[in-house]
Structure 1
């Protein structure tokens, strides 16, 4: 949203902490396989694709606004350094793994946000969006 509003992109700390991002269609597919299957117990349906927060800011720059500035702010004490889900159980028992990469899903999400928030119809009318895991 900061990039769409032409605001500086906030990165906390040194930006080396990692996160995994998942497109909602991948999560829905995983949930459907879990509900329709016979397996019980916890399953991690996240995306193991790992990005540093600085890398995310750079992908957002490339996708939305190459002139966007990155602004570093002090990190919070409770910010986890690494988030990378282990989806081996979902792959093995559900035959599931995410298919939409961050670089593929981000432009779709941006198009949807532009349409919903700014009423911009130039970039298409995709109604999916992304979630973080």
Structure 2
């Protein structure tokens, strides 16, 4: 888990387009100093745990690059303010009626737990809202 920071974001770059003229996504990401401290603590904890259990690690614990984790989230945040979030509380993109995001990327802050149950609950809530709005 990394600290949620405004400068870490995904956006469309109108100056870079694909072969169909669609703006390409760009990623701004870096670790904060606090993130680096936590990452180092985790690395040390892995080494100490392995030693305590008599386990021989097959290499130095390494940090996987952003995008390689199976729990990517928080890149299309849900919220009430379009200037700080991408979707409303029902996962509908601000200003684009009928366009929804059904994924854990809407979770504003990821906890230490696996986000699967939260993602499923949000998807069910979103579907219920769509049904209510379109009887």
The normalised TM-score by structure 2 is 0.22
Q: Which has the higher contact order (CA 8 A, sep 6+)?
A: 1
Select the structure of larger CA radius of gyration: 2
